[in-house]
Structure 1
Amino acid sequence: MPTILISVFQLGEKRPKPRKRVKKSKEVQGGEDGGEAGPPKKRRKRQLKPEPEYIISDVERKESTFKGRLGYACLNTVLRNKRPASESVFCSRTCRIDSINKNGLDWVKDLGRQNVRDLITMIQWNEDNGIQFLRLSSEMFPFASHEKHGYSLEYCADLLKEAGDLAKRYGHRLTTHPGQFTQLGSPRDAVRGAAVRELNYHCQMLDLMGVGVDGVMVVHGGGTYGDKTAALDRLKQTVTEQLLPHVRARLVLENDEMCYNAEELLPLCEELDVPLVFDYHHDMLNPSSIPPSEIITRADAIWKRRRIRPKQHISEPRPGAVTLMERRAHADRCETLPVDLPDDMDLMVEAKDKEQAVFHLYRIYGLAPVIHANLRPSDPNPSKETKGRKSNKRTAQSMAAQLNDSNEISNLQDNGDELADGTPVGDSSDIDVSGLLANCATSASQSQAQAQDPIESPPGNRRSKRVRNNRS
């Protein structure tokens, strides 16, 4: 019978743990001959990838008598995409309230300092590249207008003055565009109060920079809340009774694509002596019964009376867009200047490619020389889909509910806004307005029908045929 050997470890005894080999530190280890160790090895630095060679396509040249200035909004794509990431330049570092509670208000204020420092870099870059018109990000100072966490910008007065002095030296125009949650005509006192605080914040930023009267703050008419007349009356009351004179002096209104067209805002602007910013894209989607040339003439009379240089907005729908929700999203670039554009206008180009969209129009119309090294190719396969955050119906309703209670949500919506770690927050142009501004439609069914068939125009609108042709 063969002998069976049984290990003691099979009988229940624990196997002793193997001894770990302790690696001596470089300071203790000696050389091969037992002498002193040499210097520690340096970690190899990751080599930066060389800047790619971009292939820039030719453009179809067009003629224009336009001699005004083109500008872009908030974010510079060349500076934002610099590598390494530590050298990236942008002015929209923001955060969430949880981060404020965790890190404290001084940490939030430091984000503002970083944003202003990068703004100075952007202004200099714009000057070097022939761009003299810039919209400042609303997130320069995160939550500065918040009811609980808000703060004064006096702590950053010196840096703001430095940025403003640089822009003034070069003759650049700086403006702002508070978000769509700035609702001056809301039926809720809390929402109107939040809107007033938001305008106060933007005004203080421009004042501390020493920006003159051309530094306007652009807001939309807001929601209709089922009664346009009553909503406009509340807007008028807010402007005349709640805005301080120096804040009201910077306020201008803009026609939008959902609620108020230019014809509906123009009488109020003339009555309050508040300038009107004419948006060509919005006018295409939500047209007036009078032609743009007449609206622009009447609007320019207000600008002239106020001795403020007029400004307008231009953008185009994304390729393949059909429904109203799709057509309202901005294309990467614009291909054509508007027919009714005055020759001396300041024109804000609202496009996804930011400064590249300005360069694109420079090249098409020969408006200004461009530095080839700063050109970037356009997306060869653009689509109607946007890269921003999407909002389904439930999310939109949740965001709208937050709007009713506070102004917090506006701190997360702006062209190019990002969290402090560089995470993009989203783009306000990609939000489903049918959910967020549900009060613009009289019912959910009407809103859905409008999205399915955006060709339908208001009765008696003689420009509806032109809108239909533009969709084909």
Structure 2
Amino acid sequence: MIVRFGYVAMATLVANASPSKTMTVAYFKKLSDREAAVRKLERIASENLHNTLRLLKHNKAYDIMVYRLSSKLIPLFGHELLKDWRPIKALQESFQAIGEYSRKYGMRLSFHPDHFTVLSTPRKEVLEHSQQDLGRHVSMLHAMGLGEESKCNIHIGGMYGDKQKSGERFVRQFGALPWEIRRHITLENDDKTYTALETLEIAEQVGTPMVLDLHHHTVNNPGGESPEELWPRIAKTWEGQPLIPFAPSLSAFAALSGEEKVPLPPKIHLSSPKSEKDALSHADFVGVEPLLPFLKAIAPATPRLDIMIEAKMKDQALLKLMEDLQREGIRAAGQAAVEIPG
């Protein structure tokens, strides 16, 4: 099994490259010239997109083929004060450059809209916000020229006093989304409310892939199911996904012929608890346990897997994990990928 690792948004090894620079609503309101204020927003967004491209070039140098884009690329995108603003059109060239670069080097890009984007909500205004936010994320992917292979990962949401009814409401409201949005969505188990098994059951019901978060499963698993036990069903939710060119390194990608494509691999999330007292927060780095036993267990039936590392030290956490895995006797398949015997 080939396993590729990625990280989220920021790189600690690249100076002054934030893709999430912003402007507050209060500051925007203070600017008397609205046209100039909008131009300033577009300059900030342009810098965020430029920094995203810088980060992709950094990733290329380290064979990092999996990367989560910042959801804050465009400050105040969708705010009620800017309903008439069409930033994607103004920033089209920058979006295209990111998409072209990622395709040129076989990189897998994704988004993770924030926790305010919930489809289980009973409140009409929250649902409308969530639908619009997902639409904005998908529109950014499309501006990059990216298709169904690029996902927007979300949680089921709150239980609102009745988990069963909230889950049923999620299924209804997910089904009401346009297909153009639904086909980009993956569902992830959370650390407090919806367990891996519950998330899996909903993912199966709505026909969308599930992203297993190992850390969340550890802290929110009242049923006691092992991740290995759930894995065959989770992997099955990824069936029917588009074919992509897949490689564990840039040199391996360069050696692919144009016809060599495989189904989009399943993705999981990996983090370690900050401390025993603060088990829900992410640590600076990630440990080999419980990842390695899980990988060894699923390797015989899983040819390829992508893992998103959620750690404070971002790319450094990824590179340290690579070193730690190699000390455990695992063979590197690139600077950011390993091969697990099946």
TM range, smaller chain: 0.7 to 0.9
> Any conservation in 2 of the 1:311–1:345 contact (CA below 8 Å)?
yes
Deviation at 1:147?
A: 3.6
1:203-222 to 2 correspondence within 5 Å?
Answer: 203-222=138-157
Counterpart amino acid of residue 283 in structure 2: A
- Equivalent residue, structure 1, for 2:204: 270
Residue 121 of structure 2 is aligned with which of 177, 186, 204?
Answer: 186
> Any conservation in 1 of the 2:138–2:184 contact (CA below 8 Å)?
yes
Counterpart amino acid of residue 252 in structure 1: T
Q: Distance between the aligned counterparts of 2:79 and 2:193, measured in 1?
A: 26
Q: How many residues align?
A: 294
Q: Distance between the aligned counterparts of 2:75 and 2:98, measured in 1?
A: 18
- Equivalent residue, structure 1, for 2:73: 140
Cα deviation digits, residues 44-65 of structure 1 (max 9, x gap):
xxxxxxxxxxxxxxxxxxxxxx
Q: Distance between the aligned counterparts of 2:155 and 2:5, measured in 1?
A: 21
> Any conservation in 1 of the 2:119–2:156 contact (CA below 8 Å)?
yes
- If you compute each CA radius of gyration, which structure gives the higher value, 1 or 2? 1
1:393-432 to 2 correspondence within 5 Å?
Answer: none
- Please state if 1:327 is matched with 2:279: yes
Counterpart amino acid of residue 192 in structure 1: L
- Equivalent residue, structure 2, for 1:249: 183
Residue 269 of structure 2 is aligned with which of 298, 306, 313?
Answer: 313
- Please state if 1:365 is matched with 2:298: no
Residue 355 of structure 1 is aligned with which of 315, 318, 325?
Answer: 315
1:93-172 to 2 correspondence within 5 Å?
Answer: 93-103=21-31, 104-150=37-83, 151-152=85-86, 153-172=88-107
Q: Distance between the aligned counterparts of 2:42 and 2:178, measured in 1?
A: 25
> Any conservation in 2 of the 1:146–1:194 contact (CA below 8 Å)?
no
Deviation at 1:271?
A: 1.4
Distance 1:276 1:113, change over 3 A: same
Counterpart amino acid of residue 271 in structure 2: S
Deviation at 1:115?
A: 0.6
Deviation at 1:368?
A: 5.6
- Equivalent residue, structure 2, for 1:67: 2
Counterpart amino acid of residue 340 in structure 1: F
Deviation at 1:105?
A: 2.1
Q: TM-score, normalised by structure 1?
A: 0.60
Deviation at 1:118?
A: 0.9
Deviation at 1:291?
A: 2.5
> Any conservation in 2 of the 1:111–1:141 contact (CA below 8 Å)?
yes
Cα deviation digits, residues 102-128 of structure 1 (max 9, x gap):
342221122111111111111011101
1:339-350 to 2 correspondence within 5 Å?
Answer: 339-341=293-295, 342-343=298-299, 344-350=304-310
Deviation at 1:169?
A: 0.5
Q: Distance between the aligned counterparts of 1:142 and 1:235, measured in 2?
A: 28
- For CA contacts below 8 A with separation 6 or more, give which structure has more relative contact order: 2
SS at match of 1:231: helix
Distance 1:331 1:226, change over 3 A: same
Q: Distance between the aligned counterparts of 2:310 and 2:21, measured in 1?
A: 20
SS at match of 2:18: coil
> Any conservation in 1 of the 2:171–2:205 contact (CA below 8 Å)?
no
Q: Distance between the aligned counterparts of 1:238 and 1:365, measured in 2?
A: 42
Q: Distance between the aligned counterparts of 1:262 and 1:168, measured in 2?
A: 32
Counterpart amino acid of residue 352 in structure 1: K
Deviation at 1:315?
A: 0.5
> Any conservation in 2 of the 1:362–1:368 contact (CA below 8 Å)?
no
Please list every run of 5 or more consecutive structure 2 residues that lacks an aligned counterpart in the other structure.
32-36, 243-263, 327-331, 337-342
